Structure 1
Amino acid sequence: MTRFDASTADTSMVKDELSSQVAILLCTYQGQAYLAEQLDSFTGQTYNNWRVWASDDNSQDNTAAILQAYQQKWLPGSLTICCGPNQGFVANFLSLTCNVKIKADYYAYADQDDIWEPDKLEGAVQWLKTIPADIPALYCSRTRLVDARNNEIGFSPLFSKPPSFANALTQNIASGNTMVFNNAARSLLYEAGEKIPVVIHDWWVYMVVTGCGGHVFYDPTPTLRYRQHDSNLIGMNATLAARYNRLRSYWQGSFQDWSDRNIKCLQRLRHRITPKNLEILEQFTKARTMPLFQRLIHLKKSGIYRQTLSDNLGLIAATIFKKI
């Protein structure tokens, strides 16, 4: 695959000289119930230099019709509709990420059923502009949880420890629907490729940016209303029952499988990963396979951590029982 060339960014669209263009990467599937509300929240942004690229995974409801109606209503070029790979939402997001026709200054993932706060893009772009263009940079944030009727029901967890590769190897704190990243980060994702068996696209972005020496900013201020409903492919899973089911799946081997896949996928960018992070990856790999005492030593040497005390105790237990 030819390396993505960020220097050829499309400048054909008329825009404010003081602003940079954001490509909103929207994936849809059977989204008729909430899609219009999300699209309306794009038009309500205080930062208005954006274009939407919507990839639909063969929806059989009115999703396509809704997208086409907004395409006709908005200014020409504001909304481009693509056909997704029809292989699930992870493959759909990666297909947009690696689509060479999409060229902008920054890229924002968008789910079909959320509602963006008006200053979502403005805050992200303001931070991204503080990072040199040749350094991978990723903005993400906390979210406000709402029910199917947009009634507030809480917040996503507030993470206090800093984002890093040592955290990313065992935990994703970067919710994809809040992500905005620059061309240097996009170039890495393009180089790794869209046909890559990652566990989930946002966790992959978090690992790649941190692993390759990039900057990640986790904004504690919620930037969108994250809708929780029965059709969610991925929700917050914050209930006791959900936590129990998640813990049970970990002990049945799911987390071990995720680590296998993540480590394998990271090898595609091994030459981009910093020496310090390569050492962390090596120590983490050893901590998964060696006899018990050495496993614990290598876990300690790796510096791997999760965001809470209970999660870190669980990580130690998983290491003891060879479940990482």
Structure 2
Amino acid sequence: MPAASGERSGEPAIVVLLATHNGVRWLDEQVDSILAQEGARVRVVALDDGSTDGTPEWLAARAASEPRLTVLTDDGTGGSSARNFYRLIDTATIHEGELVAFSDQDDVWQPDKFSRHVALLEQGNAGVSSSVLSFWSNGRTELVRKDYPQREFDYLLESPGPGCSFLMTPELFALVRETLRTSEDARQVEYHDSLIYAIARGRGLRWHIDGYPSVNYRQHDDNVLGSNQGASAALERLRLIREHWLRRHATLLTRVALHVAPEESRPELRRILGYLTGDGWRNRRQLARLTPRLRRRPRDQRIIGLLITIGIW
């Protein structure tokens, strides 16, 4: 697909949807790294979610001096990061031909993020995401790799990277917006990155996961999700597994995929949905056999398969 072009510069036009909540201490660095993107004509639409740390005032002041920043009014219907992004998707004005990206409030983007990802979209992909480089205030860094080979149904169990690494075509964005407006299941999904990936892949669209880390992914005590690495993250995943949260999440994503899927893809999705919602050891065995098609990383396939088989997942 041809990238959207700027009227004067010939550069692609990109709108970045920025969700904020009590992040004023990081916003300068985050917004500066967005507006300094190479090879793209960028604007930012921000929506705050009830901040009490001066974030709304910072946004208003920056918007007064920066024409590329627009701030939407908080109507009090947020309450979570996903809901704030869904409000942005629903209400932000998207100009014809604009590519769409998402931003957290506390990261730092590589200057070639957009130029690299636009080139990948032009190869026929509807969406692009990437690995990220987690970093801590003590100077520690760690690559969070996301580009393991994609599987047929990986979009039901995992995202292709943090939403802050996403870039989408106008057509995919329109599909995401319409799905959120017409599917109650979509609005219940707790992570916008998982939802968008499920919509794209469920529809049969191509998605590329870039191994090059396009974002320096800040780690701190207020992260909604964080890099999902290390012992504490493993314990949190185990808790979610034991409470069957991940299974319920996968069930929602399967229903969303069915909502957008072409007719020829629906029978197998319905079969998977039956495995996710059914009981008994035969059902668990069938679902466990599917794990090589549900997770990208071989280690994760083995672990999930075992947890399903013994009835924990």
Same fold (TM over 0.5): yes
Q: What's the counterpart of residue 286 of structure 1?
A: 274
Q: Residue in 1 aligned with 2:10?
A: 18
Identity of matched residues, %:
23
- Considering fraction of residues, name the structure with more helix: 2
Unaligned runs of 5+ in 1: 1-9
After TM superposition, give the deviation of residue 17 of structure 1 in Å: 5.2
Alignment CA distance shift 1:48-1:183 (3 Å): closer
SS in 1 for 2:293: coil
CA distance in 2, matches of 1:309, 1:265: 26
**Count, aligned residues:** 302
Tell me which amino acid in the other structure corresponds to 1:274. P
Matching of residues 145-294 of structure 1 within 5 Å: 145-148=134-137, 151-162=139-150, 164-193=151-180, 196-267=187-258, 269=259, 272-275=260-263, 277-288=265-276, 289=278, 291-294=280-283
Moved more, 301-310 or 57-66: 301-310
Q: Structure 1 residue 284: deviation in Å? A: 1.5
Q: Residue 38 of structure 1 aligns with which residue?
A: 30
Distance 1:235 1:168 in 2: 19
Which secondary structure does the structure 1 equivalent of 2:106 belong to?
coil
Provide the rounded CA distance (Å) in 1 between the counterparts of 2:73 and 2:300: 39
SS for the counterpart of 1:98 is helix
Q: 1:300 aligns with which of 276, 282, 289?
A: 289
Match of 1:121 in 2: 114
Report the counterpart of residue 7 of structure 1 in structure 2: none
> In structure 1, what is the Cα distance between the partners aligned to 2:275 and 2:296?
19
> Would you say the 8 A contact 2:131–2:211 is kept in 1?
yes
What is the one-letter code of the residue matched to 1:60? T
TM-score, normalised to structure 1, is: 0.85
1:93 alignment partner in structure 2: 85
Q: Supply the distance in 1 between the matched residues of 2:264 and 2:31 (Cα, whole angstroms).
A: 42
Conserved 8 A contact 1:284-1:304: no
Name structure 2 gaps, 5 residues minimum: none
CA distance, structure 2, for counterparts of residue 249 and residue 174 of structure 1: 19
| TM-align CA RMSD | 2.4
Equivalent residue letter for 1:21: A
Structure 1 distance, partners of 2:207, 2:64, is 36
8 A contact 2:120–2:128 mirrored in 1: yes
TM-score by length of 2: 0.87
Contact 2:14 2:42 in 1 (8 A): yes
Could you tell me how far 1:67 is from its partner in structure 2? 1.5
